[in-house]
Amino acid sequence: NSNELYLRYIDDIFITISWPIQYLSKQIDRWNKVDRNIKLKAEVGHSINCLDVCIENKNGELFTKVYHKPAYEPYYLPFNSIHPMHMKKNIPFEILIIKYCSTFDAYLYEREKLRMALLLNRYPGEFIDKQFSRVFQKYYITQPLSTKNYNISREKIRCARIQEKILIDHGKTMFVHFTYCLNMKTFSVKFHTLWNKYFIESPINEIKPVLGTGNVKNLQQQLIHNK
């Protein structure tokens, strides 16, 4: 049937089908007899959870929202932890809940849920709003989201091309790792300034330095690791 779906991600399969449940159950039993090493466990209903998405069938139309597994805890990297700021900025930026929520109400619910979790982890409200806005700036969405433009804006984000990763020329790239702490906050800027100052006319300037950070080993980090 052209109106049905079959989607697969590794060992998770999502199917929409108009068969009676007993017919579908019999078909799954047949599939389970094809290979004794493969056993399919079916979840059948008008609403199911697949990966990180909750999918609901309402009169033949599919609606989606974020699905949180039972073990989910609203714990994120604390804002006052000794980590580079770019790591904290990417938490509310990279979690594109708009991709998972097919309705504006579901999006608002998940966004405020995320906001509360970040506030509990000591993220300033202004900081959170700024990072939320970065999502829309990246896709050149200038109008505030509303019930009227939500679907158009969401489709624009969903259909955006994924940028291809730039290949690294390891023959001309030097990786420098340093232990990050508050005193090293401006180290990256100073490093590149000195590099350009002393090596701009040197053959070594053909080498591109890339800085990476490691964290200071402390009690907080150890507790998070053990958790």
Q: How far apart are CA 180 and CA 213, in angstroms?
A: 6
Give the containing element (helix H, strand E) for 190.
helix 187-199
Q: How far apart are CA 98 and CA 108, in angstroms?
A: 9
Q: How far apart are CA 183 and CA 179, in angstroms?
A: 10
Report pTM. 0.69
Residue 27 falls inside a structural domain: yes
Q: Same domain, yes or no, for 209 and 147?
A: no
Domains: count for the chain: 3
Residue 216 is predicted with a pLDDT of 62
| Regions of the chain where pLDDT drops below 70 | 1-3, 94-95, 162-164, 215-227
Cβ–Cβ under 8 Å, residues 18 and 1: yes
Q: How far apart are CA 58 and CA 127, in angstroms?
A: 37
Largest CA distance in the chain: 76
pLDDT tens-digit map of 54-84: 989 888 788 999 998 888 888 888 888 877 7
Residue 74 falls inside a structural domain: no
Pick from 58, 131, 122: nearest CA to 97: 131
Cβ partners under 8 Å of residue 1, min gap 6: 17, 18
Residue 69 falls inside a structural domain: no
Q: Where are the beta strands (DSSP E) in 130-204?
A: 173-180
Q: How far apart are the first and last CA of the chain?
A: 48
Q: Same domain, yes or no, for 188 and 146?
A: no
Q: Which domain holds residue 115?
A: 85-158
Residue 216 falls inside a structural domain: yes
Q: Same domain, yes or no, for 151 and 182?
A: no
Q: Same domain, yes or no, for 89 and 154?
A: yes
Pick from 29, 86, 60: nearest CA to 213: 86
Structure-block tokens of residue 116: 């509360």
**Taking CA 30 as the corner, what is the angle to CA 28 and CA 32, rounded to the nearest 5 degrees?**
70
Q: Same domain, yes or no, for 154 and 216?
A: no
Residue 205 is predicted with a pLDDT of 78
